[in-house]
Amino acid sequence: MTALLHAAPRGVLFLRAELGKLGAFLRRDFLIAWSYRLAFVSEWAGLALQAVTFYFVGKMIDPSVLPAYGGSPATYMEFVAIGIAMTAFVQLALSRVGHGLRGEQVQGTLESLLMTPTSPTTIQLGTVFYDVLYIPLRTAVFLVLVGLAFGLDFHTDGFVPALVVLFAFIPFVWGLGVANAGFLLTFRRGGGAAALLFTMLALFSGAFFPLDLLPGWLQGAAELNPIAIAIEGMREPLLGGTGWEGVGSDLLVLLPLSIVSLAAGLLVFRAALRRERRRGSLGLY
Amino acid sequence: MHAAETMEDLEQADRAPAAVEMREITRSFAGRRALAGVSLAVRPGEIHALLGPNGAGKTTLLRVLGGLIEPDSGSVRVLGTDATQNTRAQRRAVGLVPSGDRSFYLRISGLENLRFFARLHGLGAGAAKQRALDVLAAVELEHVAGVPVGEYSHGMQKRLSVARALLTDSRILLVDEATHDLDPHAARVVRELVQRLARDGAAVLWATQRIDEIRGLAENVTVLRAGEVAYSGSVVRLGGRVRVQRHVLRLQHRRTLEAPPLATVRALLGSLGSVEPAQDDPELVVLTLADAATLGAALATLIAEEIDILSCREVQSEIEEAFVQLTGA
């Protein structure tokens, strides 16, 4: 009992110290991102151009082939805007989380980080913390701007449920990204596998076209795709105005998937780190 | 060098338990042996040199101590605890000055880099900034505190590495080729900073391949050759292992005030040794002593014949001679 009483404050102190370090990572990565102002601007410009492209593509598409949300039909632009936002979110998160520590390895800073009294989990989280906050924010801002620019009819009372779906989905993507980071740490050039996985998940996610267009057997498989579940979970409240009712079942599926994905990702990553330490190849790239 | 000033301090330092202790460490990479049965100990306040040619295993040994590589066998103890555990307390105690430039974020300033690492060492935001400013001043980089590290010269980046090690008053400092390509002033600044840390009680392991660097800096030295310990002991004793036979002399005849003819010098020395003109300066001669001869006897012979010795230096220092003999470098 006494041991427990002593252990608790130590644990709290440790947690507080480690959380404080996340702030340091956040500041560092903001300063680094800010030093690449042109890349920052071009990333947003690229996203806007993609939206414009789909706006014109949307003019050719018959809205009757699109699914109805909350009983009301959606335009293609409304349909695809959420798809673009979510696939861009997944792609960016997978890539940046995966390459976060790989970047440290290539820059030569990984060993300096590992020499500090910081837990490997904090280092892993720290290297992607800026992106974990920035990418969902970017997704939300993108949806708002596209909504305003193209006069899309989003239900404002659907924003909070949609954001909750997005946040429930973050650990899933993060887990994949962390696992990808582990593979990159081990195989150095494992980026291709992550890109292939993303392409497959995005293709069968219903981001750009309704899943109804797929052959029956593929449709069943695509409906189990977590990206598809998250996208539909966001479309329901935003396009159909279904509020919390529309997202309940999606959250029930997404949350356990997210927990499993994150836990598995962290395990893979820690195993990769241990392996590199044993092999003495942490600094090699 | 010991921080100790008095005999009592010296005795205490000798009795102090080793801050770093390695026993029979072996480590191979893909079948290539990098360390083979290496043992060494460094006490608090001591600068221990790790000398060896390229590929001798110096960096591997430092990385084992830093917890970045696990040894295949043997034991490593840092401040009395098993270093392979790689605990936070151990990482807090050990500072590393790496050999390369690539250990900082080049897009952000030196101050921001140090603030970041200070935070990771557990300092609060305000304390981290103040500490970063203090150590930047200590390494004479305060004037470039706000400049991105990518714009620093190599020497400045090296000083920044030392500054990072100073952030937390490391009790163990691992220095890997810290001054090998610095200008003399920058090298001296780095050496003085490390000596100051040692005076404050840090155990320093200083890896280098520059023999001249360890004289006057380290008390003890471990010489590595192909991953094995070729010598371990005091720097003084290392020098004493060899007899320097070749010396460069500048001679002048007392009456003519000119360099004496080579034939005359040869005739005077007889069986004591041979002389050849130095390659780079015709005013100098290289004296090679015979096995049984001493430098004193040779010089006394010349002086007795009115040939003054204006200068005399070893072609290679005794430490260099020992290094070459031990490592074959």
Q: What is the mean pLDDT of chain B?
A: 85
Chain A partners within 8 Å of B122 (Cβ): 17, 117
Which CATH number do you get for residue B261? 3.30.70.100
A40 touches chain B (CB under 8 A): no
B236 touches chain A (CB under 8 A): no
Same domain flag for B195 and B264: no
pLDDT of residue B329: 62
pLDDT of residue A1: 44
Cβ–Cβ below 8 Å for B91 and A116? yes
Residue type, B150: G
Distance from CA of B46 to the nearest CA of A (A): 22
Distance from CA of B199 to the nearest CA of A (A): 23
Rounded to whole angstroms, the Cα distance separating B285 from B71 reads 50
Q: Which A residues in the span 3-22 are in contact with B, Cβ-Cβ below 8 Å?
A: 17, 20-21
Rounded to whole angstroms, the Cα distance separating B80 from A157 reads 62
Question: Does residue B5 carry a pLDDT above 70?
Answer: no
Rounded to whole angstroms, the Cα distance separating A220 from A222 reads 6
Task: Please give the residue that has the higher pLDDT: either B80 or A10.
Answer: B80
Residue type, B273: G
In a domain, B1, yes or no: no
Residue A21 is nearest to which of B68, B104, B119, comparing CB atoms? Answer: B119
Chain B partners within 8 Å of A24 (Cβ): 115-116, 119-120, 128
pLDDT digits (tens, 9 = 90+) for B210-256: 777 887 889 899 999 989 999 898 888 877 666 667 888 999 999 89
Q: Tell the burial category of B264 from Cβ atoms under 10 Å away from its Cβ (0-12, 13-18, 19+).
A: middle
Same domain flag for B22 and B150: yes
Which CATH number do you get for residue B77? 3.40.50.300
Rounded to whole angstroms, the Cα distance separating B44 from A112 reads 23
Rounded to whole angstroms, the Cα distance separating B250 from B299 reads 11
The whole-number average pLDDT for the span A259-271 is 89
Cβ–Cβ below 8 Å for B119 and A280? no
User: Considering Cα of A63, then A66, then A71, then A72, what sign does the dihedral take?
Assistant: negative
Same domain flag for B83 and B133: yes
Distance from CA of A132 to the nearest CA of B (A): 19
Domain boundary at B240, B273, B303, which? B240
The whole-number average pLDDT for the span A242-251 is 81
User: Domain residues for B323?
Assistant: 246-327
Domain boundary at B240, B255, B272, which? B240
Question: Does residue A4 carry a pLDDT above 50?
Answer: no
pLDDT of residue B1: 41
In a domain, B2, yes or no: no
- Least confident window among A60-64, B60-64, B195-199, B213-217: A60-64
Would you call B242 helix, strand, or coil by DSSP?
A: coil
Q: What is the mean pLDDT of chain A?
A: 81
Minimal CA–CA distance to B12: which of B2, B21, B20, B22?
A: B2
pLDDT band at B4 (very low <50, low <70, confident <90, very high): very low
Q: State the count of interchain CB pairs (< 8 A) between A and B.
A: 98
Cβ–Cβ below 8 Å for A280 and B100? no
The whole-number average pLDDT for the span B58-73 is 89
Q: Tell the burial category of A186 from Cβ atoms under 10 Å away from its Cβ (0-12, 13-18, 19+).
A: middle
Same domain flag for B250 and B216: no
ipTM of the complex: 0.71
What are the two backbone dihedrals, phi and then psi, of residue A145, each rounded to the nearest 5 degrees?
-65, -45
pLDDT of residue B282: 77
A113 touches chain B (CB under 8 A): yes
pLDDT digits (tens, 9 = 90+) for A153-194: 888 888 889 889 988 998 898 888 888 888 887 876 655 666
Would you call B28 helix, strand, or coil by DSSP?
A: strand
pLDDT digits (tens, 9 = 90+) for B294-320: 889 999 999 999 999 999 887 766 666
Same domain flag for B190 and B291: no
Question: Does residue B112 carry a pLDDT above 50?
Answer: yes
A112 touches chain B (CB under 8 A): yes
pLDDT band at A97 (very low <50, low <70, confident <90, very high): confident
Question: Does residue A283 carry a pLDDT above 70?
Answer: no
The whole-number average pLDDT for the span B270-293 is 85
Chain B partners within 8 Å of A21 (Cβ): 119-120
Cβ–Cβ below 8 Å for A280 and B115? no
pLDDT band at B2 (very low <50, low <70, confident <90, very high): very low
Question: Does residue B10 carry a pLDDT above 50?
Answer: no
In a domain, B285, yes or no: yes
The answer to whether A115 and A227 are in contact (CB under 8 A) is no
Order of strands, edge to edge, in the sheet holding B284-289?
B273-277, B284-289, B246-253, B307-314
The whole-number average pLDDT for the span A213-240 is 87
- Beta bridge partner(s), residue B312: B249
In a domain, B17, yes or no: yes
The whole-number average pLDDT for the span A65-78 is 79
CA distances from residue B109 to A32, B36, B97, B142 in whole angstroms, order as listed: 10, 41, 18, 11
Question: Does residue A30 carry a pLDDT above 70?
Answer: yes
CA distances from residue B292 to A189, B266, B313 in whole angstroms, order as listed: 64, 17, 20
pLDDT band at B146 (very low <50, low <70, confident <90, very high): very high
Question: Does residue B131 carry a pLDDT above 70?
Answer: yes
Each as own residue / partner, the long-range contacts of residues A35-42 (CB below 8 Å, 24 or more positions apart, any chain) are: A35/B107, A35/B108, A35/B148, A36/B107
pLDDT of residue B308: 93
Rounded to whole angstroms, the Cα distance separating B202 from B200 reads 6
pTM more than 0.90: no
pLDDT of residue A65: 74
Rounded to whole angstroms, the Cα distance separating B45 from B204 reads 7
Would you call B53 helix, strand, or coil by DSSP?
A: coil
Task: Please give the residue that has the higher pLDDT: either B94 or A67.
Answer: B94
Minimal CA–CA distance to B114: which of B156, B86, B155, B153?
A: B156
Same domain flag for B149 and B225: yes
In a domain, B265, yes or no: yes
Rounded to whole angstroms, the Cα distance separating B157 from B190 reads 11
Q: What percent of chain B has pLDDT over 70?
A: 89
Cβ–Cβ below 8 Å for B121 and A280? no
Number of structural domains chain B divides into: 2
pLDDT of residue B26: 94
Same domain flag for B197 and B122: yes
Cβ–Cβ below 8 Å for A115 and B94? yes
Would you call A72 helix, strand, or coil by DSSP?
A: strand
Report the b/e string of A104-114 with b at 16+ CB within 10 A.
bbebbbbbbbb
What are the two backbone dihedrals, phi and then psi, of residue B45, each rounded to the nearest 5 degrees?
85, 0
The answer to whether A140 and A148 are in contact (CB under 8 A) is no
Same domain flag for B125 and B192: yes
